[in-house]
Chains A and B, each alone.
Chain A
Amino acid sequence: MHQQIKAQIDRVVSSGAVYADARWYPVEEANHLTMWNGNLKHASASRESGMGVRVLHQGAWGFSASSDMNNLTGLFDKALDNARTAAERVTFPIRLAEKDAVQASFSSPNQIDPFTIPYGEKVGFLKEMDQLLDQPGVTQRIVRLTFMRKQILYFDSEGSEIEKNIIEVFPSLGVMGMDADGAAHERTFRPSRLGDTRGWETIDQTLFTREGERIVRELNQVLKAEPCPKEDRSVILLPGIMFLQTHETIGHALELDRILGYELAFAGGSFVTLGDFGNLRYGSEKLTARANATVTNSPGSFGYDDDGVPAQDNLLIDKGILVGAITGRQMVEEANATARKPIFQGSSGANRATAFYRVPIERMTNINIDPGTDGTLEDIIKNTEKGIVLDGDKSWSIGSNREQFHFATEIGWLVEEGEITQVVKNATYKGDTLKFYNALSAVGDESTWELKYVDNCGKGQPSQIMQLGHGIPVCRFDDVRIGE
């Protein structure tokens, strides 16, 4: 098959294409198990294989995909034909940033392949967790396990050949209950990534037992709590909500295709302009953010992106100043040409596709915030006069240019004069992105830093779901409106 693919790439290039690549997925497997109130509602497995072909012709892309490997000629011809049509409407002829041709491989680190674990053992884990969560106050118990395994072989007309073998494990616990007004509340646990691996060995039963008991306890506190007040306070965001704040208002805002207007018809744009790089004060000096695809144990690390560019660790925001973006080969060339200066020094290796039948687009890797010097969570609370500690993503809604946002959280703890005083329910906060990050007044130290995963980031048309990560410390922001 390798030789056939390379021969097809050579053929379309000799037919006039200036570039072509192919991603062949010999196998992609997933396994989803959901136990809901003791019922194994979903026990499913899936397997797929196929190929996606991307052809660049006269400055335009054509893409085609199929699960049928018996007609590679037809598949490559269709991609070239699609590119020929696209070439009839070109405003900036696509060109690709330089890269080295590589012959390489990447395997995500794991000790135990979750697909080797018997179903009985997996179901046994779900059952044990379900029983743990079956406590007074809990009306709904949801335990989930998702496993993914994919093999990707990448070839391009510049001579790169890359094989990737990636395994991911995504577990979660959730509980819901009803308060005296008949309103539902929820508390969830998705474990932070610990250690250096990503396999079945990351399912730590002791940790899940402890955290399961915690979310039940906290749910019951929320059920009896007063509503969140509507006022301005300092908000102290734990990693369980700060990861999403970062995801939505730093990560998506700094995807270069959004900045250049390629998502304006759907997902939206960005308030960031090309003139902002190196100049814009995105946040206070306490804010340093980076796109780090070299974190070993995160789904945001994949060795090489789907342009064949190696994973990298790049600054996005340096002590509050915007310095970088999430980029692929196409967009950096267009950005530099549009700005008439070299803003970006090559691709940052962040062009990824969710499946063989989708085209690569700029996606987050691990969008992390560096730990700060403001101590532990306890230190930050002690140094807060009037605040609220927030955790758990319940609802999120962001303006189309990522300029403003509204989040609801699962739980809030009011802070008065340096001490937690009470739990509140229906906690929300909202703000304008730049004003909010410039009000960043404390960043926790390494003891507060956690690597959270995202297994369902949506973007693009046709839509793509991507897996990635966020390494996040506790952060405090001042004068934020809560409770609306």
Chain B
Amino acid sequence: MATTEAPIYEIEHVSKYFGSVIALKDVSMFVRPGEVTCLLGDNGAGKSTLIKTLAGVYKPDEGENRFEGKRVDLDSPRDALELGIATVYQDLAMIPLMSIWRNFFLGSEPTRGVGPFRSFDVDLAKQVTRDEMAKMGIDIRDPDQPVGTLSGGERQSVAIARAVYFGAKVLILDEPTAALGVKQAGVVLKYIIQAKQRGIGVIFITHNPHHAYPVGEHFVILRRGQIFGDYAKDEVPLEQLVQMMAGGADLEVLSHELEEAAGSDPDLEAAARELRQESGASE
């Protein structure tokens, strides 16, 4: 699985402070073209700050962003976008009341005609939307549909297809599977693999190792604002990843608490047992 190709996008020794709060401390990570780097972390681990640092929303207080081997200073998400670093946010990706094709091209509308008569090439926009979605294996019935009528997974998929179409070299996905059902999450994972196969470097942020493991090449675990571990896929089995991500000890404590609360409730007891297994504790 390990490739020798150089990373397309990386951050090195990045720290970010908010007043007295250390949001990120000496964080380094990278993604190679055609690979998926999964960024795993529980709530409050500093994922949001890291995403925003990667996406150009925040400037790191220490350390640097490197794109294609060269240092870059990103002053805005627009700067990142121009380099080909596209970020798809969990909930800000799409505008529900607008049709799919209007959403798809928002901010990058194709035009035809000249001067004051330059107009939005609506037919082209609809056609491209349909084609691009088909390339990702998504079958949209009617590009005129408001995005609000799509399921959560479909919305994420439209956002990913859009980023890919507009020449993203690096795709940062902020918890794209978080609010989705099992089947929908599977659909999104499929598009992540599609994007990877098209040579895009994907940074996939999630708190669910079960979603990360099947698609990822690299796993970066963030805890309390610091890198807790950075593994290639063949260095770490899924079980270990699960255990590390939440912190084995924490899960063990939780399983005890659940057991106590369970009393005679067989469901809760089963849950406690499962947690204990995942935490890697011996029975």
A and B: partners? no
Residues of B in contact with A (beta carbons under 8 Å apart)? none
